[in-house]
Structure 1
Amino acid sequence: MPQPVRFVIVGSGASSSLPNLRHVLQPEAKCPVCLEAWENPESKNRRGNPCMLVTVREPKPQHLLVDCGKTFEEAVRRHFRKLGVKGVNAVLLTHGHADAILGLDSLREVQLAREPPDQWVLKAKTPIIASSDTVKEVWSHFHYMLPEGSGSPSLRRRSSLARIVTGLAPHRVKDFQKFLALPGLQVQCLPVLHGGTYVCLGFRFGAKGEFVYLSDVSKVPDDTMKILKSTRAEVLVVDALLKTGPNYSHFGLPQALDLIRELRPQRAYLIGMSCQFDHFHDNQQLFKLQSEGLHVELSYDGLEVEVNLSVDADVKPLDEEPAELELPPPPPRKSLLGSVVQRLCGSW
């Protein structure tokens, strides 16, 4: 039976976020959107890194975070208390770029641990769900947050072997895989291109794809497009960095509108916007698309959307224990003294 699920866009901007610091620190930039966002704390032109919070209320409230970028802490301070969110139960990652993972260091503050830390070891683990390549990126940046058994101990600094400041449990998912990210929340991975051949994951929520999230996309491959066309989404969230056209790794407004016209969701929201977009002015322009039977808006930080999602009976949760990571051995390390001697000998 379909259940209501709340989707909250807690970050709607590009990787640099808005206001762009260069545009407010250098007056010659003359960017009215960034200046308005700087001066007005409640401005809808204030945009953090792309990030979404998904809340399932039954059988008990649980929260899934989609991406955890550089502006994650600010997003928590702005939105979590107002939303009644005390913490995060699981994290779903689209890819391994800074605007998607560099906030993971702050995840410890919102982790719903079953037990308090004991001697710097957190006994509860928060699932981190991502592709194999993205899990490796998480390991390379945040090895000190992963428990023993998550990868080669030789890759961990000696001082952090016994000091785990949070508990993350990496789960690798494959292209087009279906799984329950939380009880009652069915997700399917949709690979898209995010510049060149770099693969990023979009997500299809619900058995019928009632909610589709494509935050970082430069091209939709044919196999993914077939799935998107197989059902008419109630809500589509899609990347649109620039009004003027595509960026190397992102859709521009024309490409986003082309996809919206092809899929014809009931509602579509743009995400990842640069300061080329002014929220009030450009929404007025987008509302004119209603003449084509399209409902398109700019998203904003704090936007809430509720959708009834269905679940296939045969879709199961991810395995309880994450698989071992297959990581390359570390390069040989030279002692500082050995390096100095080698340099001195080489200069004689």
Structure 2
Amino acid sequence: MTTSVRLRFLGTGTSFGVPQIGCGCAVCRSTDPRDKRTRCGAVIETGGGTRLLIDTPPELRLQLVAAGIDDIDAVLYTHEHADHIHGIDDLRAFTIRRATPLPLYGEAATLDTLRARFPYIMDEQFRPLPGTTRPEGTLTLIQPGVPFNVNGTDVLPIAVPHGRSSVVGYRVGDIAYITDAKLLPDTARAALVGVRVLVLNALLRQPHPTHLSVAEAVAVAQEIGAERTFLTHLTHDTSHAALAAELPAGIAPAYDGLVVSLA
């Protein structure tokens, strides 16, 4: 496993984002920059120089510019929902400078959705007009529990249920990123043994049919026992400061732009 790893949170919000359109609640009106949450995405960088983008959320261009990310080696997709894939066209900025298509990893349902929703990217027969460009990607099927390698970096996909859908979390070295989970089955827990930094979604205070609640995420985090756990996919249900104040030691809300490093 890779030892030196850095995780950068690009976006930490729910599918609505925060502030939410048309909402005048205290969190949506907050001046705390940590309460401005774009849709979920992250970048994992290894000491060996590999940079992996997790998902392509709708605000991807703004997120990458803010983070100063100018190159990536691959995209790891968690699942096919709109808030996790609809920024895919922003990959064009990377692929116009590459000699080969960008590898895009995901489960079968995710890859099928990408083919159906973005044929101008995925159809190898499509050719853009002279003087125009399109993202260039190569779809690669992954299987949960079966590690794969990107430029010398081992990546372990971890399956978790998300309502009627399956979501893939990823472990790279001692960092694991899991979003949109309703629970962590035994296979996922086994894959997380020894992880030092864990990311979990925590949608609302009350139970939700497809997501961990804050209390459920805290309970799972304590069972996994990582040194540090960060909660993501957060709503305007609570402010960053209020949530941070009530969480147990070792568990904290993530925020857009947060960087976590492991030597």
Give TM class, smaller chain: over 0.9
Give distance in 2, aligned partners of 1:17 and 1:259.
24
What letter is aligned with 1:162?
R
What letter is aligned with 1:171?
T
TM-score by length of 2: 0.92
| Corresponding residue of 1:33 | 27
Map 1:22-61; keep pairs closer than 5 Å.
Answer: 22-23=22-23, 30-36=24-30, 40=31, 43-58=33-48, 61=49
Structure 1's 106 and 245: CA in aligned 2 closer, same or farther, altered over 3 A?
same
| Corresponding residue of 1:114 | 98
TM-superposed deviation, 1:12: 0.7
TM-superposed deviation, 1:5: 1.8
Q: From 137, 143, 148, give the equivalent of 1:174.
A: 143
| Corresponding residue of 1:301 | 256
Q: From 224, 239, 255, give the equivalent of 1:263.
A: 224
1:65-99 residue CA offsets vs partner (Å, 9 max, x unmatched): 0011112122123222xxxx312221000000001
Structure 1: gaps (5+ residues): 24-29, 116-123, 154-160, 309-348
TM-superposed deviation, 1:251: 0.5
Give distance in 2, aligned partners of 1:224 and 1:86.
32
| Corresponding residue of 1:238 | 200
Give distance in 1, aligned partners of 2:98 and 2:20.
39
Give distance in 1, aligned partners of 2:135 and 2:102.
9
Give distance in 1, aligned partners of 2:169 and 2:14.
16
TM-superposed deviation, 1:112: 6.6
| Corresponding residue of 1:274 | 235
Map 1:182-331; keep pairs closer than 5 Å.
Answer: 182-183=151-152, 185-195=153-163, 197-206=164-173, 210-228=174-192, 231-242=193-204, 244-286=205-247, 289-290=248-249, 295-308=250-263
| Corresponding residue of 1:342 | none
1:138-175 residue CA offsets vs partner (Å, 9 max, x unmatched): 11111111252xxxx6xxxxxxx222612100000012
| Corresponding residue of 2:87 | 103
Contact 1:215/1:237 (CA < 8 Å) preserved in 2? yes
Give distance in 1, aligned partners of 2:2 and 2:137.
30
SS in structure 1 opposite 2:118?
Answer: helix
Give distance in 2, aligned partners of 1:257 and 1:205.
22
Give distance in 2, aligned partners of 1:296 and 1:114.
39
What letter is aligned with 2:46?
V
1:103-158 residue CA offsets vs partner (Å, 9 max, x unmatched): 0011101337334xxxxxxxx2000000011001111111111252xxxx6xxxxx
Structure 1's 52 and 182: CA in aligned 2 closer, same or farther, altered over 3 A?
farther
RMSD of aligned alpha carbons: 1.8
SS in structure 2 opposite 1:35?
Answer: coil
Give distance in 1, aligned partners of 2:137 and 2:216.
36
Give distance in 2, aligned partners of 1:219 and 1:112.
39
Greater Cα radius of gyration, structure 1 or 2: 1
What letter is aligned with 1:165?
R
- Deviation >4 Å, runs of 4+: none
Give distance in 2, aligned partners of 1:89 and 1:212.
18
TM-superposed deviation, 1:271: 0.4
SS in structure 2 opposite 1:34?
Answer: coil
Query: Larger % of helix: which?
Result: 1
Give distance in 1, aligned partners of 2:145 and 2:157.
5
TM-superposed deviation, 1:46: 0.7
SS in structure 2 opposite 1:302?
Answer: coil
Contact 2:57/2:83 (CA < 8 Å) preserved in 1? yes
SS in structure 1 opposite 2:150?
Answer: strand
Give distance in 2, aligned partners of 1:264 and 1:219.
16
Contact 1:88/1:111 (CA < 8 Å) preserved in 2? no
Contact 2:58/2:84 (CA < 8 Å) preserved in 1? yes
Give distance in 2, aligned partners of 1:306 and 1:256.
22
TM-superposed deviation, 1:187: 1.2
What letter is aligned with 1:56?
T
Q: Does 1:65 align with 2:36?
A: no
What letter is aligned with 1:297?
A
Give distance in 2, aligned partners of 1:114 and 1:273.
34
Give distance in 2, aligned partners of 1:268 and 1:91.
23
> What percent identity do the matched residue pairs reach?
25
Give distance in 2, aligned partners of 1:76 and 1:126.
16
Contact 2:149/2:155 (CA < 8 Å) preserved in 1? yes
TM-superposed deviation, 1:277: 2.0
Task: Count how many residue pairs are aligned between Structure 1 and Structure 2.
Answer: 259
